[in-house]
């Protein structure tokens, strides 16, 4: 059996450190925010190369508060992509703004900068590029358009901890960067957690207030805030895990290189990493028109895969009110029909990569000889 992800294998490698960190929170009884969260914030800000990091209870909350800190609300428009996890668009909805979608570049699965300007109106206040699968979006043209047109940029870095674009860490390039520490992420909590990072002091202050009921001083609520605090146990766990992240990222990149090499010479469409990025392979997705057939056959062999994501946001019933229809974003729609995420986690063994690729190459041969 080859799982898609193996959190137990990871825990086994760091158990004593994690157990001690959790025990420390139990001893201190600092269950929300507190010193473990503050220390993790400091470490994560320095990891991202930003002045500030503000711990919250999910990546969705980080995006929501980033939008509010940017002053975005009803009557405004925010540009993002349909080929993302629904949370990107949900956060825009929570802020009161309207989501305007732009199609992806089919090579990278990220926002196509050449399509952004046509979507900008006098109501546009922000662009949210999503660094999908762990590959940074093409930030320089995005930042240039944003500067020229006077709109903010908020990075959805929820899948891209430690990824780099032309030597810059994700989260540090735009006005605000948002991370998720959902357990399956490259840096995952033992529960829900997220983080907003920024170099702008006033954004940091606003997000810090909004996550904790809009008050800097207890019961002196200056803003209409939220209960979006990070839990102490999550801060403690994440602080330990951050010290391992570079080694885990190196392992993921080695697995991806192994997959690439094992697939070479076949016609199977593998991920395309741009030359000027450090892709951190949260997801390693191949593309196939026979996805359902292949996924079922792999499952039958004990090889577990994922689909990220089967329906682009503009075709989800929940967001039908955005007013888009099938055909509006052909690259996103095709990607949603074809992507298949292969097993990917640091503890994956090289031999397991070989088994996965052999099984897929067999399926590819069978597909070809069946003339499909």
Q: Applying CB under 6 A, which residues contact ligand PLP?
A: 58-60, 84-85, 87-88, 130, 156, 158-159, 180, 182, 194
Q: How far is the CB of 197 from ligand PLP (least distance, A)?
A: 15
- What are 18's two structure tokens? 């994690």
**Residue 79 near residue 119 (C-beta atoms within 8 A):** yes
Nearer to ligand PLP, 195 or 359 (CB): 195
180 or 206: whose CB is closer to ligand PLP? 180
CB of 248 to ligand PLP, least distance (A): 17
Tell me how far apart the alpha carbons of residues 179 and 308 are, in angstroms, rounded to a whole number: 18
Omega of the bond leading into 309 within 30 degrees of 0 (cis): yes
164 near 170, Cβ under 8 Å? yes
Residue 98 CA: distances (Å) to CA of 67, 89, 123, 284, 350: 12, 9, 9, 31, 45
Structure tokens at 105: 């570049």
Considering the complex, state which of residue 192 and residue 333 has its C-beta at the smaller distance from ligand PLP: 192
Question: Which is nearest to 40 in space by CA: 23, 62, 16, 21?
Answer: 21
Please tell me the distance from the alpha carbon of residue 267 to that of residue 80, in angstroms, as a whole number: 31
Give min distance, CB of 84 to ligand PLP, in A. 5
Nearest CB to ligand PLP, comparing residues 262 and 336: 336
- Rounded to whole angstroms, the Cα distance separating 6 from 251 reads 14
| Shortest Cβ 179–ligand PLP spacing (Å) | 8
Smallest distance from the beta carbon of 161 to ligand PLP, in angstroms? 11
CB 102 within 8 A of CB 116: yes
What is the smallest separation between the CB atom of 88 and ligand PLP, expressed in angstroms?
A: 5
CB of 302 to ligand PLP, least distance (A): 26
Comparison of 86 and 297: residue with beta carbon closer to ligand PLP: 86
- C-alpha angle 314/133/183, rounded to 5°? 100
**Cβ distance to ligand PLP smaller for residue 50 or 58:** 58
Question: Least CB distance from residue 189 to ligand PLP, whole Å?
Answer: 9
User: Crossing angle, helix 232-242 and helix 7-28, to 10 degrees?
Assistant: 130
Buried b or exposed e, range 78-105, using 16+ CB within 10 angstroms: bbbbbbbbbbbbbbbbbbebbbbbbbbb
Cβ closer to ligand PLP: 109 or 182? 182
Residue 104: DSSP 8-state = B
Output the six-digit token pair for 197.
Answer: 């990072």
The smaller minimum CB distance to ligand PLP, of residues 90 and 290, is found at 90
């Amino acid at each position: 059996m080859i799982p898609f992800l193996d959190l137990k294998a990871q825990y086994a490698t760091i158990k004593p450190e994690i157990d001690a960190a959790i025990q420390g929170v139990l001893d201190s009884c600092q269950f929300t925010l507190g010193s473990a969260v503050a220390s993790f914030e400091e470490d994560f800000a320095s990891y991202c190369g930003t002045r500030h990091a503000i711990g919250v209870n999910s990546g969705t909350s980080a995006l929501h508060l980033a939008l509010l800190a940017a002053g975005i609300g009803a009557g405004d428009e925010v540009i993002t992509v349909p080929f993302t996890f629904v949370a990107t668009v949900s956060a825009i909805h929570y802020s009161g703004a309207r989501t305007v979608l732009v199609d992806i570049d089919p090579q990278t699965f990220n926002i196509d900068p050449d399509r952004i300007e046509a979507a900008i109106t006098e109501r546009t206040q922000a662009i949210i590029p999503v660094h999908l699968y762990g590959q940074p979006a093409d930030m320089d043209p995005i930042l240039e358009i944003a500067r020229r047109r006077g709109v903010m940029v908020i990075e959805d870095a929820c899948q891209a901890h430690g990824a780099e674009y032309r030597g810059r860490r994700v989260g540090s390039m735009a006005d605000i960067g948002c991370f998720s520490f959902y357990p399956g992420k490259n840096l995952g909590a033992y529960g829900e957690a997220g983080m907003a990072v920024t170099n702008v002091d006033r954004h940091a202050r606003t997000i810090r207030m909004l996550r904790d009921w809009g008050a800097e001083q207890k019961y002196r609520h200056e803003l209409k805030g939220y209960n979006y605090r990070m839990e102490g146990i999550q801060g403690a766990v994440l602080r330990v895990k951050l010290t391992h992240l570079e080694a885990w990222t190196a392992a993921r990149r080695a697995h991806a290189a192994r997959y690439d090499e094992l697939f070479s010479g076949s016609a199977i469409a593998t991920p395309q990493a741009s030359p000027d990025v450090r892709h951190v392979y949260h997801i390693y997705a191949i593309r196939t028109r026979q996805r359902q057939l292949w996924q079922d056959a792999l499952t039958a062999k004990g090889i577990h895969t994922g689909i990220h994501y089967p329906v682009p946001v503009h075709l989800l019933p929940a967001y039908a009110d955005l007013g888009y229809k099938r055909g509006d974003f052909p690259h996103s729609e095709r990607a949603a029909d074809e992507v298949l995420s292969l097993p990917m986690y640091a503890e994956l063994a090289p031999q397991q990569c070989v088994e996965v690729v052999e099984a897929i190459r067999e399926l590819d041969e069978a597909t070809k000889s069946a003339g499909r």
